[in-house]
Amino acid sequence: MSKYADHLPLYRQAQIYARQGIHLDRSTLADWVGHEAFNLRPLHERLLAALRARSKLFADETTVPVLDPGRGRTKTGQLWAYAADDRPWGGLDPPGIPYVYVPDRKAERLFVSA
């Protein structure tokens, strides 16, 4: 929870745990994050499907540098946020904002769970 709610990197969390006598490698914490991302994927896909059915949808793209092994430099990926909130217009559906990473700007990748 601290990684996301408190914006606390895993290496700092490992240091905090070590001060409390709990020795966790950063790689162990990263494995836990990866496993939970996998476990939450069905929820993410359901949220995307629910938003596809909405009449109004807002989208925002942010570029992110991504390591590209073998090239010696980074490439540019895209992180999309899709938002829907009809409450200001009297809608009853709950709001939602799923994020989708795509490795390039190809249009066929937009709004597809990656």
pLDDT at 110: 60
If you search the block for the tokens 């496993």, which residue do you land on?
A: 35
Q: Convert 33-53 to b/e letters by CB count within 10 Å (16 or more is b).
A: eeeeeeeeeeeeeebbeebee
Q: Is 109's pLDDT higher than 70?
A: no
The string of pLDDT tens digits covering residues 46-85 is 999 999 888 888 999 999 999 988 888 999 999 999 999 9
Domain boundaries of the chain, sorted by first residue: 1-40, 54-114
The string of pLDDT tens digits covering residues 31-57 is 999 999 999 999 999 999 999 888 888
pLDDT at 114: 46
